[in-house]
Amino acid sequence: MRTLLLMRGLPASGKSSWLREHNLHPYALSPDCLRLMASAPIMLPTPNTLHASPTQKVDSSYIINQANDKRVWKMLFELLELRMARGDFTIIDATHTSLQALRAYESLAQSYRYRIFVLDFSDVSLEIVKKRNYARSLTASHKAVPESILESMAKRLQDSPVLPSRYTLLKPESAFEHLCLKPIDLNAYTAIHHIGDIHGCIESVIEYLLYSFILEARTPPYRTKQQALNALRQSNFAKEICLQLFHPTSYYIFLGDYIDRGVGSGEVVALLLAIMEERNICLLEGNHERWLQKWGKEELGDNEFSTFSVKDLEQAGLSPKDTHRLYARLRQCAYYSFDNKQVLCTHGGLPTLPENLLLIGTRQLIYGSGDYEDMQSCARNFAKTTDSSTYQVFGHRNREKHGVRVYERSFALEGGVEFGGCLRACILRHSRLPISLHTKVPAKHNLQSALSGDLLGLVLGDFCEIYLQNSKDPALAHRLNARHNARKIHSLVEKLRKSPLIKEKSFGPISSFNFTKEVFYHKKWSTLTCKARGLFIDTHAYKIVARSYDKFFNLYEREESSLESLQEHLSYPVQVYIKENGFLGIMSGVSAYCLESTFANADSMDCHATASTISHNDSKKVDSSNAQNPHEQAKDSKITKETAPCFCDEQTNKAVQGGVFREAQSSNATPESKLFITSKSDALSPYATIMRELIDSHLAHHARTIQSTKESLESTLATYLKDQNLSLVFEIIEPSKDPHIIAYSTPQVILLDAIYNTPNLAKLPYDELCALGARFGFRVKEQVGSIACWEEFMEFLRKHDQLPSDESPHAKDSRLLGSGAREDGFIEGFVLEDSAGFMLKIKLPYYQGWKHLRNLLESPSTKSRHNLIAKLKSPLTQEFAKWLESTSTEQSLIALREQFLKARKSSH
């Protein structure tokens, strides 16, 4: 525990002997030991003469080297701080003959909340010390100290002032007994209440305190929890109001973890501040309480406490000064006797009752022995190693969801109250409770049966186990659920930001996260990099505001898309949808505040790179993550400066390129719009601009069809998406501005899916997607079939030339002959989705062949173009490469293909 014992006395006064006698060497730091680690003993030029008596003397030629003392003491204090950070009981085996030497520890002790004891050996006379020093020289001459130094140290010790009262002075003969932690006697109280992890759930605490009056046949101070909460809040948690909830003849032990996760951390802290000095209140320290001390000291970093709990504390009117006061009152454990029982209370739980609790590190008391999964082992071992009158109560860990009584005499009071579980408590009384509860006994390893009511009790022996379910109030449940989701998003953002394989692009409070080029080219796919694909997160509120699909792969591209894996894992039926050939766009509904913040941030941005001309030769600089290959989107596209304006003047700078905020380029703009529209990586890209224009045109047309206005329809759509927490994912086709490989005659907006804005991919079913499309006039992706078994799947692959074959080059060439027009039946391919949600892309030979030939247009050098030509094996592809040499390539692939096929037809 947090205790620092400073030994004080002359060399050979008995300090090391006292350590050996009480087996405390493992807890001691000694500068002499460090000196010997830093240097071997050195020989003296003139031996020391040491006297046991006037007639007994010996010459000592060796001594401990003092030359490294500066480093030695620096090392000792570094080691001491390591131990203090864990809360380890520590002894400093040194002379400490001056008050200044003692003061050197005060700063660390204050920082780590250590009590300082001084074990005083100053009563040992100089004569006795000289005799022992002489005896040392006979067995370990280097440990002997020159007599002149002993005499100097003795005078300094004698002349030193009386130690200040902040040091507790101990004598060797009684020190060990004083340092042994004894149980406090609580028999004067009628009941001992043990209250488990709270985690900001103030409602559950208040409800338990009111119930405790009823359980002990007393009249509660308030009839309902809401009345009590109103009184507390109206009085700003005044002490006299808070104390009404605690009976003076009961003793209350709170087991720690008062903050974080829940939504009422500030009010829980306010309650504890009001009661912390009462004699019948014991507040233990949990692992989350360390943040109460760190707050205000710039040690927080980006974590759950700084992100969520600090706001709760500030809303409750609390400051770091308040939380520091509370932290200073927290205890490391509670050890008491009551009704012929000994009870140990810690936050984490131990496997036995140690002979001396003072020797157990605070970290172990808080986190428990072992890891989270070792809780049961600790409880079983506690039963084996302690007598039948010894009990322990703890919180912190209960992943297995055990009942309160884990094993015989160990009680676990972690119930997941902040996750909709229950606040746990147990009451120890001199006699059984005066009332009997109709209860449901929770099955072992399963608490579901215990959660059907607000209060459930289980009376076993003298302990009453209490399960108090978190409030069923819908508003509170909604707040808890929102906080829980925000915590998950916060954790996700931390992981995304730490990964060097993921890039973040910020748009005010909204950031997009996408995998890097390195991920694609070096196939560094993982769950995280696959998720970082069109993922937009409000990093202030920690909410996903828009998202696309997780990355999914082509047939044969990954192990999971190999035939062997598909045969084993496909879940039928498998639905087949046409894959159109455009770019992916995302739409969601967000709050006006979020958009305004994004809009305000965009005002301060430099003019976006989209101002320059973007053709098929340099468009790879823009929105490159929008395709399977990070360059595929740009290679498919041809966007000119006319379609990608740069808003630089004062009036149009507020338009926010790409339509992030819909205020803008015309007098008819509607700044109240709440639609967030973006491409997969960049809400300010020219692709988002194209999508914005097409969506505007579509909504205007559909509004006229249903005799409404575009503004009203857009507002309805934004509200629906925001309320349902959905993102709409579209295939955006604009043949004049963004031609790809398949030729389309008109612009199109095709609704692909409605995806929930949650970390794990979840979508609307296809029939609901179609209904949504019909409501807002969107064309929905076309379902063209269903595959019922593996044989049908293989037949599907054969039909669309997806299986390996030994076809001749001329036969393969025949697949590339055709207009490539969508109206002639040409498509990019298919997206397959099985009943478990697994998705697979299949690209057809026509698309793949011409996509490969498109590389000739975009080769950055003659050398790389010649390398590509050398790899072309079929006559048609070689013919196309030769034809390109005499043709201007400043055109789209679609235009060049049409010219080539006409030229070829006329020449043949």
The verdict on residue 360 lying in a domain is yes
CATH of the domain at 250: 3.60.21.10
184-185/334-338 β-pairing:
parallel
Enter the tokens of residue 95. Answer: 């002379």
Instruction: Give the mean pLDDT of 387-392.
Output: 95
CATH of the domain at 104: 3.40.50.300
The verdict on residue 653 lying in a domain is yes
CB neighbour class for 863 (10 Å; exposed up to 12, middle 13-18, buried from 19): exposed
Q: Which of the two residues, 136 and 282, has the higher pLDDT score?
A: 282
> Which distant-in-sequence residues (6+ apart) come within 8 Å of 625 by Cβ?
514, 515, 533, 534, 633, 680, 681
191-195/341-345 β-pairing:
unpaired
- Indicate the residue type of 204: S
Chosen domain end from 154, 179, 204: 179
The verdict on residue 520 lying in a domain is yes
Q: Coil, helix or strand for 751?
A: strand
pLDDT, position 457: 52
Nearest Cα to Cα of residue 623 among 604, 612, 641, 610 = 610
Return the residue matching tokens 């320059």.
612
**111 and 131 in a common domain:** yes
- Indicate the residue type of 17: S
Enter the tokens of residue 282. Answer: 């014991």
CB neighbour class for 91 (10 Å; exposed up to 12, middle 13-18, buried from 19): buried
Enter the tokens of residue 192. Answer: 């001992």
What are the tens digits of pLDDT across the range 564-578? Answer: 999 999 999 999 999
**409 and 546 in a common domain:** no
What are the tens digits of pLDDT across the range 184-201? Answer: 999 999 999 999 999 999
> How many folded domains does the chain comprise?
4
**159 and 15 in a common domain:** yes
Residue 616 pLDDT level (bands cut at 50, 70, 90)? very low
**542 and 448 in a common domain:** no
- Indicate the residue type of 728: L
Sign for the CA dihedral angle at 510, 516, 517, 520 comes to negative
Nearest Cα to Cα of residue 741 among 581, 578, 903 = 581
The verdict on residue 456 lying in a domain is yes
The verdict on residue 833 lying in a domain is no
Let me know: does 173 contact 111? Beta carbons within 8 Å. Answer: no
**547 and 456 in a common domain:** no
Chosen domain end from 179, 214, 247: 179
Instruction: Give the mean pLDDT of 545-560.
Output: 96
| 573 cis-preceded (ω within 30 degrees of 0) | yes
pLDDT, position 481: 87
pLDDT, position 270: 98
pLDDT, position 593: 57
**332 and 431 in a common domain:** yes
Nearest Cα to Cα of residue 441 among 417, 460, 469 = 460
Domain encompassing residue 616 = 482-795
The verdict on residue 834 lying in a domain is no
**709 and 811 in a common domain:** no
Nearest Cα to Cα of residue 425 among 407, 443, 411, 439 = 411
Chosen domain end from 123, 152, 179: 179
281-283/28-29 β-pairing:
unpaired
Residue 311 pLDDT level (bands cut at 50, 70, 90)? very high
The verdict on residue 477 lying in a domain is no
Cα–Cα distances in angstroms (integers) from residue 745 to residues 183, 693, 823, in the given order: 86, 17, 8
**195 and 175 in a common domain:** no
pLDDT, position 475: 84
Q: Which residues pair with 577 in a beta bridge?
A: 783, 831
**168 and 236 in a common domain:** no
Reported as type and span, the H/E element at residue 515 is strand 510-515
Let me know: does 866 contact 802? Beta carbons within 8 Å. Answer: no
CA-based max dimension of the chain: 128
pTM, two decimals, is 0.78
For 131-212, list the strands marked E by DSSP.
168-170, 184-185, 191-195
What are the tens digits of pLDDT across the range 700-744? Answer: 999 999 999 999 999 999 999 999 999 999 999 999 999 999 999
Whether the predicted pLDDT of 806 surpasses 90? no
**437 and 506 in a common domain:** no
Nearest Cα to Cα of residue 236 among 278, 200, 271, 201 = 271
**727 and 812 in a common domain:** no
What are the tens digits of pLDDT across the range 516-545? Answer: 999 999 999 999 999 999 999 999 999 999
The verdict on residue 327 lying in a domain is yes
**415 and 301 in a common domain:** yes
Report the C-alpha dihedral over residues 895, 899, 904, 906, rounded to 10 degrees: 150
* Mean pLDDT over the full length of the chain: 85
Enter the tokens of residue 805. Answer: 């074959």
